[in-house]
Amino acid sequence: MSSKPTAIVPDATSRMECRVVDPPHPAVVDGGRLLAGCELRTQRRSGPGGQHRNKTSSGAFLTHRATGIVGEATERRSQAQNRDVALMRLRYLLAIEIRTPSPLDPTAWTANPEEDAIRRRYANHSLRLNDANDDKPAVLALVLNDLWVAGGQPSLLAPSWSVSTSKIVSLIRSYGPALAWVNRVRSHHQRLPLH
């Protein structure tokens, strides 16, 4: 009779190198506050698209000052719409590229009201979130923080989120760049990729 190997949180020194910032994670803060921490650059759109296409500077490029990460959108005719799309794209990029401490590592983690509110709201939740849901980048960021600490092992997150491992994996699979990032973490720890 063989027993299943026990999943263990890897030692902090063996983690994949990531950019870590103090909480709250920038993908967790509300849109207005995130926007206040960004520099907005507008640009005229290029290419075909009708007589009004190049008459206004409707493209929006948001640079997050603290990290230098840029979210951009140029496909809409309205600068305000492009800014909103760029902000959402920026939140997703931040969710993938930036880490904050995880409660799975009690030596580094301290409670943060904004991150704790997201964790409470989505604990015991299906984690089926539409890509347009404002909370999805925040939930992804926190799940990725946990997976970074857990060496890419979704089974170690399930108890803290009060969900099944399959729900964690489904959330990760729902956003391609998140799945690619988790598979880089798993490869770093000599684990097979998630599919």
Q: Would you state the pLDDT for residue 77?
A: 86
CA torsion 130→193→157→18, rounded to 10°? -90
Q: Would you state the pLDDT for residue 38?
A: 97
Q: Would you state the pLDDT for residue 10?
A: 84
Instruction: Tell which CATH architecture fits domain 31-95.
Output: 2-Layer Sandwich (3.30)
Beta bridge partners of 62: 40, 71
Radius of gyration, CA atoms only, the chain: 19
Domain ranges of the chain: 31-95, 99-188
Instruction: Report d(CA 98, CA 21) in Å as an integer.
Output: 7
Q: Which residues of the chain have pLDDT under 70?
A: 1-7, 44-56
Q: Would you state the pLDDT for residue 136?
A: 97
Instruction: Report d(CA 75, CA 79) in Å as an integer.
Output: 10
The pTM for the full model equals: 0.89
Beta bridge partners of 71: 62
